[in-house]
Amino acid sequence: MSEKVRLASVGLGRWARVLARGAQRGDVIDLVSCYSRDEQKRQAFQDEFGIGRAAASYEELLADPEVEGVLITTPNDTHRDLVVQALEAGKAAYTDKPIAHTLEHGVAIVEAAERSGVPFAVGHSARRLAGSREMKRWIDDGRIGDVSMAEANFSNERGLELTPEHWRSYPDKTPGGVMIQLGVHHADNLQFLLGPARSATAHARKLYTAAHVPDVVMSLVEFESGALGYIGAGWASPGIYTINLQGTKANLRYDLDFTHWDEGHLADDYSELRSQAHGQSEREVVELQRTDMFREQLEEFALAIRGEATVEVGPREALRALAVVHAAIASSERGGQAVELAEVIEAAGAGAAV
């Protein structure tokens, strides 16, 4: 690659800064512009990251010939319009997870991405953590044997911070509450590890937050392989991030200290993977190969723009993760009845999109 890939940040809140730091840890990406409706946010973002200019409107940003792609970190319900507009303008687009708040919006993004032929990526970066990558290697090379059960939990206290002014407080913008914000990570992780999901059974409750969405969800996911997986997500406790796999040859236990989640290049220093084979009385520490989940995903997206890489989590993969979320929502509404992913996918007109 002769020169850095020129990208622009859209939506300049906390997560835009996390991604900007990840992009600037490498030498692949040059952040050349940014956009927010708030002029003060634009100026602050420029000052913090040394960005030479900002756009006063999204249309102005997309008309900038120097911008090759956009990094979108706006509320979930805005993803469709911003992504489709970028793709139709010939700009590559990256959006943070989930791909959208509804499957219908997700389908529209899938169709726009495939129609445009322009690179599009979704920020399911958690599958790039060292523990996830190593568990996948154990599955692929047979060291763990056949996996029958997976247990995953992603919870934190951020639901307790929600106020009526915050978009995450409302079901029309955040359907499923904590499930679409945190559980969707494991909906992607477990399908990355175990293959496509078939159905979800779930119970969701709103217990301790001021929001109008669930702050605790427990979901049982059946995979097409026959394996079963548990996804827990909570918004009213100290942070926890775990994945456990039970195989016919060995078990794997992964634990990450959530307080370092935003520091993708340091997260592996605060995580541990242990294995236990049949007959072992102790769980052995598994050596992990360091990753930088945010930097790696953004650089893959950037290199895809130049035709030098392939996006790992594109629209179809992201839509499957969102389908698990919406199957879980439907199951809880039906008192815990199992809901097939095919049902919610077809209801959204997404049959041909996954």
Domains and CATH numbers, the chain: 5-125+296-313 (3.40.50.720), 126-291+324-333 (3.30.360.10)
What is the rounded distance in angstroms from the CA atom of residue 11 to the CA atom of residue 284? 43
What is the rounded distance in angstroms from the CA atom of residue 296 to the CA atom of residue 175? 29
Share of residues in the chain with pLDDT > 90 (%): 96
In contact, 200 and 331? CB cutoff 8 Å: yes
pLDDT of residue 349: 83
What is the rounded distance in angstroms from the CA atom of residue 2 to the CA atom of residue 295? 19
How many Cα atoms within 13 Å fall on the side-chain side of residue 3?
A: 7
pLDDT of 235 > 50? The answer is yes
pLDDT of residue 281: 86
Who wins on pLDDT, 279 or 10? 10
CA distances from 123 to 178, 263, 315 (A): 17, 15, 11
**pLDDT tens, 51-110?**
999 999 999 999 999 999 999 999 999 999 999 999 999 999 999 999 999 999 999 999
Region 147-154: mean pLDDT is 98
Region 249-275: mean pLDDT is 95
pLDDT of 353 > 60? The answer is no
pLDDT of residue 286: 97
pLDDT of residue 344: 96
The two most distant CA atoms of the chain are separated, in Å, by 64
pLDDT of 160 > 80? The answer is yes
CA distances from 33 to 12, 81, 201 (A): 11, 20, 44
pLDDT of residue 354: 56
Buried b (16+ CB within 10 A) or exposed e, 210-249: ebebbbbbbbbbbbeeebbbbbbbbbbeebebbbbbbbee
Which of 51-55, 85-89, 200-204, 277-281 bottoms out in mean pLDDT, i.e. has the lowest? 277-281
- Against a cut of 0.75, is the pTM above it? yes
pLDDT of residue 275: 98
**227 alpha-carbon distance from chain centroid:** 22
pLDDT of 214 > 70? The answer is yes
Across the chain, mean pLDDT equals 96
What is the rounded distance in angstroms from the CA atom of residue 324 to the CA atom of residue 351? 14
Cis check for the bond before 164: say yes or no (omega within 30 of 0). Answer: no
What is the rounded distance in angstroms from the CA atom of residue 304 to the CA atom of residue 319? 20
Share of residues in the chain with pLDDT > 70 (%): 98
| CB proximity list for 307: less than 8 A, separation 6 or greater | none
**pLDDT tens, 286-336?**
999 999 999 999 999 999 999 999 999 999 999 999 999 999 999 999 999
Region 334-348: mean pLDDT is 95
